[in-house]
Chain A
């Protein structure tokens, strides 16, 4: 259990990996807004093609993306079905009580389905190609303007990176404690919901105590290594824009322009 992956990052070496996490994060967020520009078959087709090209550019197996969509496929289908049965207008094909399948309903259901799926696909592209630490750095960069309002962005960033750094350590500790409890006869895998929940308590208490100890040790170590808040700190790891980010930007702008041209006004 030495290599526990946090997040969904999968190592790779395609063009998408070389893009700056800041660019990818911003593009992903903007994509969610841009998707609402689409309002006719042509624009939805453009969106779909652009998204699939982005997916293909990662050079990862399709299964990776299916795994991204799978957990919420029912939510997507449910929402689409609601659209299907409750949208009124156009030609009515089938009706029962309040439910009706109309031509508007069918189109809306398809649009909602595409929208949802594309958002999930694009955010999967980002999360599988960007390490959690890079995402944390990108979030820090996004938060930078908040410095004007005296928000301690550097501290928040350090907290984020330490939190990520200690996830595997906490996992290790959890497994150690679990094994220690198992050796004394604890059973985590059998019994009903309540029995299992109760079995977790003797796990949480030592875990909580050990993480407090870790925190105290870490604070001592940081202080003795000269950490005194943010004043005068420099950064070793920095993000640098590259040519690949220009590709990202241009690609995104072309998408927006095409959507603006082809959408129904």
Chain B
């Protein structure tokens, strides 16, 4: 059985109009349907640029060798709106993406843009709001919501248009720890419920624990990619790029270098603590 890749990126380059160096330099990668992919990299590594290319907010230009394909549709001027029907993006700043005057209005915005009838909207909107647990705030104005709640509304707005892919563009970076975990939890639920593919661009290395695949970007290129545990073994490379390895991975590695062998299957703090407790008792 072949792997079903929902996003295929081939030899894509992009240079901002007034820049000398390309922001994206000949990048090729695939994203499997239904997977969670984290893209990490320091500021200016090109991680935000790549997602703006995926939904056509930036135009890489047409070129025989390169292509961006989403859900079997090749991105061109003509198909950009079809692709935007399939890709929802949650941006970084909760305030600057809240278009509607109230929660319900904001969730309806994407539907209004797609010409969905009002009758249909009256059914979809409350459901989408309920899905992110914001029902009691349906008529609230954005001013009375926390950052995390606004991001949940943004997710509801995306769920409402039934996309295939949800992209988090550092969507949790401006939130407090509670808001962050709530938002990630909701995304996880939505992913499971609707079979979504998630792409999360993040600074927060701990967030990558949720990922099936990690892409590490630097200077517009993909430096390494793979399962989180294999990527985080490359401590030296990550440190060179100015990225820190998640705390658990760091502890694991240091223990290993002190001849305490930790199996590869252990990837969370809880697992590690359990394992270490048992390690003592076995001896």
Contact = CB atoms under 8 A, between A and B. Distances in A.
B137 to A, nearest CB: 14
A218 B97 contact: yes
Contact of B84 (A4, A133, A217, A224): A224
Given A224-B57, A236-B111, A2 B96 contact: no
Interface in B95-115: 95-101, 104-105, 108-115
Nearest to B117: A234
B144 A3 contact: yes
Contacts of A238: 118
A236 B97 contact: no
Interface in B114-163: 114-118, 121, 125, 141-144, 157-158, 161
Given A162-B99, A165-B98, A221-B96, A236 B91 contact: no
B113 A3 contact: no
Nearest to B146: A2
A43 to B, nearest CB: 41
B101 A226 contact: no
Interface in A193-240: 213-214, 217-218, 220-228, 232-238
A161 B158 CA distance: 21
A225 B144 CA distance: 23
Contacts of A161: 100-101
Contacts of A223: 57
A236 B141 contact: no
A221 B167 CA distance: 12
* Interface-central residue, B85, B108, B114, by most chain A CB under 10 Å: B114
Nearest to B118: A234
B55 interface: yes
Contacts of A172: 143
Contacts of A165: 98-101, 141-142
Contact of B99 (A2, A168, A222, A235): A222
A225 B160 CA distance: 11
A68 B99 CA distance: 31
Contacts of B29: none
A233 B117 CA distance: 9
B66 interface: no
Interface residues of B, number: 39
B222 interface: no
Nearest to A171: B143
Given A218-B99, A225-B99, A228-B81, A236 B121 contact: yes
B118 A236 contact: yes
A234 B96 contact: no
A207 to B, nearest CB: 14
B143 A169 contact: yes
B81 A217 contact: no
B109 A225 contact: yes
B81 A236 contact: no
Nearest to A215: B96
Contacts of B97: 217-218, 221
B171 to A, nearest CB: 12
Given A225-B109, A226-B81, A220 B101 contact: no
Given A2-B143, A224-B55, A217 B91 contact: yes
A214 B143 CA distance: 15
Nearest to A220: B57
* Interface-central residue, A2, A161, A218, by most chain B CB under 10 Å: A218
B145 to A, nearest CB: 10
Contacts of B84: 224-226
A69 interface: no
A236 B157 contact: no
Interface string B56-100: 010000000000000000000000010011011101010111111
A23 B19 CA distance: 55
Contacts of B101: 133, 161, 164-165
Given A165-B99, A217-B96, A225 B143 contact: no
Interface in A148-175: 161-162, 164-165, 168-169, 172
Contacts of A218: 96-97, 99
Given A217-B96, A237-B105, A226 B110 contact: yes
B105 A224 contact: no
Nearest to B91: A221
Contacts of A168: 141-143
Contacts of B111: 234, 236
Nearest to B124: A236
Contacts of B117: 234
Given A225-B110, A234-B118, 16 more contacts: A2-B144, A133-B101, A165-B98, A165-B101, A165-B141, A213-B96, A214-B93, A224-B89, A225-B99, A225-B158, A226-B85, A234-B111, A234-B117, A236-B104, A236-B111, A237-B108
Interface of A: 2-4, 133, 161-162, 164-165, 168-169, 172, 213-214, 217-218, 220-228, 232-238
The 5 closest A-B pairs by CB, nearest first: A236-B108, A217-B96, A221-B97, A168-B143, A226-B113
